[in-house]
Homo-oligomer: A and B are copies of this chain.
Amino acid sequence: MVDAFHREGLAEEPSTFSLYVRHLPPGRGYLVAAGLADALTWLEELHFDAADLAALERVGGFGDEFLRWLSCVRFTGDVRAVPEGTIVFEHEPILEVDAPIGQAQLAETFLLNQVTLQTTLATKASRFRHAAGDASVVDFALRRTHGIDAGMKLARCCRIVGLGGTSNVAASDRYGFPASGTMAHSFVQAHDDETDAFRTFAQYMTDRAVLVVDTYDTATGVGHAIEVARELAAHGTAIRGIRLDSGDLAALARDARARLDAAGLGNVLIFASGGLDEHAIEELRAAGAPIDGYGVGSSLGTSADAPVLDSVYKLVEFAGRPVVKTSTGKATWPGPKQVWRDARWSGDVLALRDEPAPGARWRPLLEEVMRAGIRTDAGRRDLAAVAAHFDAGWESLPEPIKHLTDPAPYPTLPSTRLVELAEELGGTS
């Protein structure tokens, strides 16, 4: 299609594309925008090298003129976006690209892929933070994420929303996020005796040792862990904790806590894992289970209850004219936009980009992050700044919107001018 734009002489015409989510997934009251940093890096690095062009020739069907154009193409446009970590809602642009349409179309798939993935995962991760309260949640999901790219980005998203760490050592290093792990069942199985396995592991790992106690029988395993922890205590050292990975976690945690405390091991923590989603964690917390931290995998790593986000990248302006799409159930709002929010979360306003603020207390969400292909300062925020930005929004976000199963709806209303323009163009959303 870009070839067709090119042959027609339209590839250099200015366009604006808006990337947003049409509908929140079931059970979601908000989204956490993420993926911008990777989007900007991709745009900065956009080029087709000799190997790429050779691949396109092998696939076939592209014109020679077009391949020559591709060999020189760079991203020269502007990007406006909400900062990563911003809470967003339906129809609110996460980013907008102002660029010659040939460039903007080339970027569509990558931008959608990464913003969709990272927004999906950051949103899911924030639900675990909400569910766990003061307990820590650690990303154990790399083995179950949809590929290695997703596994790395998941850890990044967990860092943004303030989870406790990751078992993904590469991501720990890349994203400055605590590495955290425990022993696996195979370590216990590789020893003739569970107590020997615990003793050996604790000796090497000392205060980082978390002993998995359910390889054979959890109650017995807790006893073996206590035996080893008491031996260490006699020498002035300690284990970090035990991990429950199967069975009735609330009951097992209560029993383990009582036995640990009775043995003078009040500082030994209790971790839980094993197919936990945010609802299971919320229930354990509501039941007062004495669990200090959770290791979570599949549900977090695949956003299992809502793996799909209804994200789109839609043309809203072309050659200076606002445009719409009026397809059944999939209509779009015309024109470049701004989103306005007030500090009291009284409802967002979806406005045309050049409209004034709706009032004194309102601030705009979208800011310029790339100008003429170069990142602005706002496009260079590091992960610590992104995490701080998420925190500020999260702390102020009303609790009912965070509800895990039946969140309060939050209104985003189109401005009068946006409604008028849409009607003028024959489209309503």
- Specify the chain B residue showing the minimal Cβ separation from A181: B1
Among B204, B307, B329, point to the contact of A246 (Cβ < 8 A).
B329
Q: Is the CB of A215 within 8 A of B325?
A: yes
Q: Nearest Cβ distance between residue A220 and chain B, in whole angstroms?
A: 11
Residues on A lying within 8 angstroms of B by beta carbon are 1, 3-5, 7-8, 10, 13, 15, 17, 55-56, 58-61, 101, 105, 108-110, 112-114, 116-117, 120, 142-151, 153, 169-170, 172-173, 179, 181, 183-187, 189-190, 200-201, 204-205, 208, 214-218, 245-247, 274, 298-299, 302-304, 307-311, 313-315, 318-319, 323-330, 426
Q: Is the CB of A308 within 8 A of B302?
A: yes
A325-B147 contact, Cβ under 8 Å, with A101-B190, A190-B315 = no
Q: Inside 8 A of A145's CB, which chain B residues have their CB?
A: 113, 117, 146
Q: Nearest Cβ distance between residue A217 and chain B, in whole angstroms?
A: 7
Q: Inside 8 A of A319's CB, which chain B residues have their CB?
A: 190
Among B173, B218, B314, point to the contact of A328 (Cβ < 8 A).
B218
Q: Is the CB of A117 within 8 A of B146?
A: yes
A4-B205 contact, Cβ under 8 Å, with A101-B190, A328-B214 = yes
**Bound CA span A314–B315, Å:** 50
Q: Nearest Cβ distance between residue A135 and chain B, in whole angstroms?
A: 22
A55-B170 contact, Cβ under 8 Å, with A4-B183, A304-B308 = yes
**Bound CA span A48–B163, Å:** 28
A186-B326 contact, Cβ under 8 Å, with A148-B113, A150-B149 = no
Q: Inside 8 A of A60's CB, which chain B residues have their CB?
A: 179
Most-contacted residue by chain B among A56, A190, A330 (CB, 10 A): A190
Q: Inside 8 A of A101's CB, which chain B residues have their CB?
A: 186, 190
Q: Inside 8 A of A5's CB, which chain B residues have their CB?
A: 187, 190
Q: Report 14 cross-chain contacts, Cβ distance below 8 Å, ordered by A residue.
A: A5-B190, A7-B204, A8-B204, A101-B186, A108-B143, A113-B143, A113-B144, A113-B148, A146-B146, A147-B147, A147-B153, A186-B318, A190-B318, A247-B327
- Specify the chain B residue showing the minimal Cβ separation from A15: B190
